[in-house]
Amino acid sequence: MAGHARGRRAQEQRPGRGEFTGGCGVTDGLGLFDNSRRHDQHDDEYDYDDEPREPRRKKRRSPTFWVVAVVVVAIIAGGAWYGVTQVLGFGGFDDYAGSGDSDVVVEVKAGQGTADIGAALKEKDVVASSRAFTSAGEDQPKVKAIQPGYYLMKTKMSGKAAVDRIITKDARVGQLQIRAGTQLDDIKQPDGKTTPGIFSLISNAGTATINGKKAGPTVEELRKVAENTDLAQLGAPAWAVPFATQAEPKRRLEGLITPGVYDVEPGLGAQELLTKVVKDSATTLDGWGMPALAAKTGYTPYQVLIMGSLIEREGIEKDFGKISRVIYRRLADNIRLGFDSTINYVLDRPTITTDGSVRNTPGPYNSYLNFGLTPTPIAATSKAALQAAAKPADGPWVFFVKCEKDGTSCFAETQAQHDQNIRDARARGAY
């Protein structure tokens, strides 16, 4: 075999520079067309030894490598299996026993489902796991009806105990409802009862007994914050701040808290609670179209808000547009408004008929003596009253009086018509 290879090499003639050998045997000085390597490779096919080559050694993994690999795979598989059991709802889960230890407030946010609520409870250590809550609530339809807000729970409750607690009325804390026409201070009724004002409502909602201690702001603490804190810092609308700041300190926040349902966390400080309510109200007013709503009225947005509060306290919703027209006409004709509601406001009384003993008492809110609007709103204004203030009904009315027991008003263009409406209202026992 070796001799055969040497004989073949002897017959091969390598061409000189620039010579053509046929086929692809072209060469040049740069070796760009040098096919000699190709021939050498072919020669090597025949030029080999008879001695066997040493086989290639394979690398072997150490035992440590395989141990680590097995551990990693086990961890990944175990984590995946745990995730599947939690998502699909099978397998075991952690759960406490009993009705719980210490009080804790938990927030349920808008849009949260049962699993989200369970996670929130787990974060506060109310339950040992989210599954403990969701599993216990599977057969309780009220769980799906849980509303956003704050709930007074206990730490380390069993899933069933947590479900049983959170669906009860007593668990809900911090809920606050402000009705249209409510003012900051309490109102004294003729029968001696007291109608809570906004400060009292906030104080009550923001106060709870937690672990044996009563926590939350007092009415006086809220009033102090309202009188002394910068209104912009409290979150009042920018279009209202310059005008409200000029008012008497104890009344400057009047009308800037809108009707609605609020959720406040019990135990917070007076400024933190009041800021939340004022900011939420500013968002509500923005949603109602303020300040753009007042653009075509000829009045500032704050003046329109004042009008809205007067309309709210003077009549019922079906008459709002007509009452608004009376206000616009009296302001345009430079006629005093003459509203009992403005006098009753500073006296902390409901809207009742006044007489000369109070109508002749000087003061910035006496619309029997003063021309124009009151310095501030006199109550929380509803969306309907605010819209009426921005767009009064068409009509010639200058006067109105409550003429029916249900609160309906009768409207008139002349003083004579108005006097007759008053006589008819008294005859019907309207007031």
Window from 50-59, 369-378, 385-394, 408-417 with minimum mean pLDDT: 50-59
Is 92 contained in some domain? no
Is 165 contained in some domain? yes
Higher-confidence position of 235 and 64: 235
* Per-residue confidence band for 19, with pLDDT thresholds at 50, 70 and 90: very low
* Per-residue confidence band for 346, with pLDDT thresholds at 50, 70 and 90: very high
Spatial separation of the C-alpha atoms in residues 3 and 303, rounded to whole Å: 118
Is 81 contained in some domain? no
Spatial separation of the C-alpha atoms in residues 199 and 430, rounded to whole Å: 31
- Is the pLDDT at 335 greater than 50, yes or no? yes
Looking at the structure, tell me whether residues 300 and 387 fall in a common domain: yes
Is 166 contained in some domain? yes
> Number of structural domains, the chain?
4
**Rounded mean pLDDT, 226-253:** 98
Tens of pLDDT, residue by residue over 102-160, are 999 999 999 999 999 999 999 999 999 999 999 999 999 999 999 999 999 999 999 99
Question: In the 8-state DSSP scheme, what is residue 26?
Answer: B
pLDDT at 65: 62
Spatial separation of the C-alpha atoms in residues 427 and 409, rounded to whole Å: 14
CATH number at residue 126: 3.30.1490.480
- Is the pLDDT at 48 greater than 60, yes or no? no
Is 208 contained in some domain? yes
Is 80 contained in some domain? no
Residue type, position 20, single letter: F
Residue type, position 232, single letter: A
Please spell the DSSP secondary structure of 119-184, one letter per residue. HHHHHTTSSS-HHHHHHHTTT-GGGGGPPSEEEEEESS--HHHHHHHHTSGGGEE-EEEE-TT--S
Question: Helices 36-46 and 2-11, interaxial angle, to 10°?
Answer: 160
Spatial separation of the C-alpha atoms in residues 121 and 162, rounded to whole Å: 9
Q: How many CA atoms lie within 13 A of 46 on its CB side?
A: 13
pLDDT at 25: 41
**Rounded mean pLDDT, 404-417:** 97
Asked if 188 and 234 count as a contact pair (C-beta separation under 8 A), the reply is no
Q: How far is CA 211 from the centre of its chain?
A: 28
Indicate the pairing of strand 194-195 with strand 149-154: unpaired
Spatial separation of the C-alpha atoms in residues 290 and 305, rounded to whole Å: 9
Looking at the structure, tell me whether residues 165 and 216 fall in a common domain: no
Residue where a domain stops, chosen among 263, 287, 311: 287
Window from 29-38, 260-269, 289-298, 412-421 with minimum mean pLDDT: 29-38
Which of these, 378, 392, 425, 421, lies nearest to 406 by C-alpha position? Answer: 425
Domain range for 281 is 175-287
Looking at the structure, tell me whether residues 327 and 415 fall in a common domain: yes
- Is the pLDDT at 212 greater than 50, yes or no? yes
Spatial separation of the C-alpha atoms in residues 308 and 285, rounded to whole Å: 12
